């Protein structure tokens, strides 16, 4: 009977991931729920802005927040980079720190017809990330001392193809087709000492996602003439909407233990759907004297509507995110030295995240800083840093200090030139 105790072990542990005697590592424990942490900024420039930019009309960057913004692209552009993420996690008795390096995505944009604002952009980028590891040493009157480990990895990514088009009055619209894919794996292991007669047990559950969606965007033309202030040289408003998506999800559950030299394995395969709610974003951008840029952004996503196999989560609520960013970039017609080509950025954000536990909402506040340095004509290397605080130690929850460094390479080339005849 002892040798088979692993079958019921996890049903009698009474385990809470926020209990004060846990050793946490690997990442944010909050990512254990749903599809994990959401990714808002995918380049260093966006991160330095406070992870915003819905109303930016860029010719020298690819803005995947709003596909309408592609319309001013004047060169073929390639963007790629990496992120270094660090979390200092603490509760009432424990402090840990971890860091990891991630690929931040890839974007490729081609201007097709500049007169009509038609540009094509293709990209691959993360949508969410799960990364946590929790270890607890415990004992019980029913079993020998044991160590329990909970671990999660993976996340959702999307591959997208987007087009923009310019309407009269310099109003731009755009849309992108998105293919969601990814895998999230949760592991639960119970390990006994080598002298114990109890057997180690291993439980895995994999979620495999594949689905499609779209994002629609709108960007106004320059409305600065309506303000009547000469110092304001550009004023725009932007809007983006991503539809709710029902993503077909395969689930695979396995459990195993070793008895003598043989391994007992059980396997279960299932199929369902993961409902990702719609996302709405609105923003504004304001430029002074062609050198100072201010952006304001707001995101809303009703994660209370999130469902897996038609069941909602008690740990999810609606997300609201506010950010403000500032950039100084000298008018490109007036510089001639290296330092005159360096642009500097900063930002602030406040996010009411999708997480809620025991009546406590998990909120996040962050500050940002970054800059871009030229590495050739129309080519830059961008740097950004974020420091944020999320969560609380009340009610045995966790407080997290977030450290994030982002590096992006941004290349622009004249690949296609149309000759007028």
Give 164's Cβ-side CA count (13 Å radius): 39
Supply the pLDDT for residue 271: 83
Higher pLDDT, 57 or 243: 243
> Is pLDDT of 419 > 60?
no
Supply the pLDDT for residue 418: 57
Q: Produce one character per residue of 271-308: b if its CB has 16 or more CB atoms within 10 Å, e if not.
A: ebbbbbbebebbbbbbbeeeeebebbbebebbbeebbb
> Is pLDDT of 164 > 90?
yes
Which of 13-17, 50-54, 165-169 bottoms out in mean pLDDT, i.e. has the lowest? Answer: 13-17
Q: Which residue has the tokens 């895995």?
A: 204
Query: Residue 353's closest CA among 19, 33, 24?
Result: 33
Supply the pLDDT for residue 222: 94
Are 186 and 152 within 8 A, CB to CB? yes
Are 236 and 54 within 8 A, CB to CB? no
Q: State whether CATH 2.40.160.60 applies to domain 2-413.
A: yes
pLDDT in tens, 69-86: 999 998 899 999 999 988
Give the pTM: 0.87
Supply the pLDDT for residue 20: 42
> Is pLDDT of 333 > 70?
no
Q: How far is CA 169 from the centre of its chain?
A: 34
Report percent pLDDT > 90 for the chain. Answer: 55
Higher pLDDT, 98 or 55: 55
Supply the pLDDT for residue 2: 44
Supply the pLDDT for residue 57: 86
Report percent pLDDT > 70 for the chain. Answer: 88
Q: Which residue has the tokens 């926020």?
A: 18
Q: How far is CA 67 from the centre of its chain?
A: 18
Give the pLDDT band (50/70/90) at residue 23: very low
> Is pLDDT of 19 > 80?
no
Higher pLDDT, 94 or 24: 94
What lies within 8 Å, CB to CB, of 316 at 6+ separation is 33, 34, 303, 304, 306, 354, 355, 356
pLDDT in tens, 207-232: 999 999 999 999 999 999 998 898 99
Q: What is the mean pLDDT of residues 35-54?
A: 91
Query: Residue 238's closest CA among 156, 298, 301, 308?
Result: 298
Q: What is the mean pLDDT of residues 294-298?
A: 97
Q: Which residue has the tokens 């050739």?
A: 376
pLDDT in tens, 297-332: 999 999 999 999 899 999 999 999 999 999 998 866
Angle among Cα 408, 410, 414 to the nearest 5 degrees reads 170
Reading the block at residue 79, the tokens are 């963007």
Q: What is the mean pLDDT of residues 185-214?
A: 88
Listing DSSP states for 232-298 in one string gives EEEEEEEEEEE--EEEEEEEEEEEEEEETTEEEEEEEEEEEEEEEPPEEEEEEEEEETTTEEEEEEE
Give the pLDDT band (50/70/90) at residue 421: low
> Is pLDDT of 65 > 80?
yes
Cα–Cα distance, 129 to 183 (Å, whole number)? 10
Q: What is the mean pLDDT of residues 177-203?
A: 88
Supply the pLDDT for residue 289: 86
Q: What is the mean pLDDT of residues 100-114?
A: 90
**Per-domain residue ranges for the chain?**
2-413
> Is pLDDT of 282 > 80?
yes
Are 18 and 12 within 8 A, CB to CB? no
Give the C-alpha distances (Å, rounded to integers) separating 220 from 39, 142, 208, 242, 298.
26, 67, 39, 19, 17
């Amino acid at each position: 009977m002892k040798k088979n105790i692993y079958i019921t072990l996890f049903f009698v542990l009474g385990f809470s991931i926020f209990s004060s005697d846990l050793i946490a590592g690997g990442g944010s424990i909050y990512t254990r729920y749903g599809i994990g942490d959401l990714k808002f900024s995918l380049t260093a420039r966006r991160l330095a802005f406070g992870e915003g930019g819905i109303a930016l009309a860029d010719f020298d960057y690819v803005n995947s927040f709003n596909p309408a913004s592609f319309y001013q692209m004047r060169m073929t552009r390639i963007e790629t980079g990496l992120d270094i993420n660090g979390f200092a996690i603490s509760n009432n008795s424990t402090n840990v720190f971890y860091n990891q390096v991630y690929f931040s995505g890839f974007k490729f944009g081609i201007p097709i017809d500049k007169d009509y604002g038609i540009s094509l952009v293709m990209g691959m980028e993360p949508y969410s990330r799960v990364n946590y590891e929790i270890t607890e040493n415990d004992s019980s009157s029913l079993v020998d001392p044991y160590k329990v480990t909970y671990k999660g990895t993976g996340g959702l990514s999307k591959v997208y193809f987007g087009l923009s088009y310019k309407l009269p009055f310099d109003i731009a619209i755009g849309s992108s087709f998105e293919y969601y894919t990814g895998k999230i794996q949760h592991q639960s292991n119970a390990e006994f000492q080598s002298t114990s007669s109890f057997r180690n047990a291993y439980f895995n559950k994999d979620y495999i996602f594949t689905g499609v969606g779209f994002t629609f965007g709108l960007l106004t033309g320059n409305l600065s003439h309506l303000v009547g202030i000469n110092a304001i040289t550009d004023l725009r408003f932007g809007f983006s909407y991503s539809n709710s998506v029902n993503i077909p999800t395969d689930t695979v559950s396995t459990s195993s233990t070793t008895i003598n030299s043989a391994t007992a394995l059980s396997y279960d395969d299932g199929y369902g759907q993961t409902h990702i709610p719609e996302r709405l974003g609105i923003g504004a951008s304001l430029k002074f004297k062609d050198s100072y840029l201010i952006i304001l952004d707001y995101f809303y996503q009703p994660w209370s509507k999130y469902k897996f196999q038609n069941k909602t989560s008690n740990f999810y609520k609606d997300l609201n995110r506010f950010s403000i960013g500032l950039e100084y970039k000298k008018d490109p017609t007036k510089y001639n030295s290296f330092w005159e080509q360096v642009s500097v950025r900063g930002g602030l954000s406040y996010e009411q995240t999708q997480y809620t536990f025991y009546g406590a909402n998990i909120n996040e506040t962050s500050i940002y800083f970054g800059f871009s340095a030229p590495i050739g004509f129309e080519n830059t290397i961008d740097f950004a840093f974020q420091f944020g605080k999320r969560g609380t130690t009340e009610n045995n929850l966790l407080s997290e200090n977030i450290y994030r460094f982002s590096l992006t390479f941004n290349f622009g080339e004249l690949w296609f030139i149309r000759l007028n005849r």
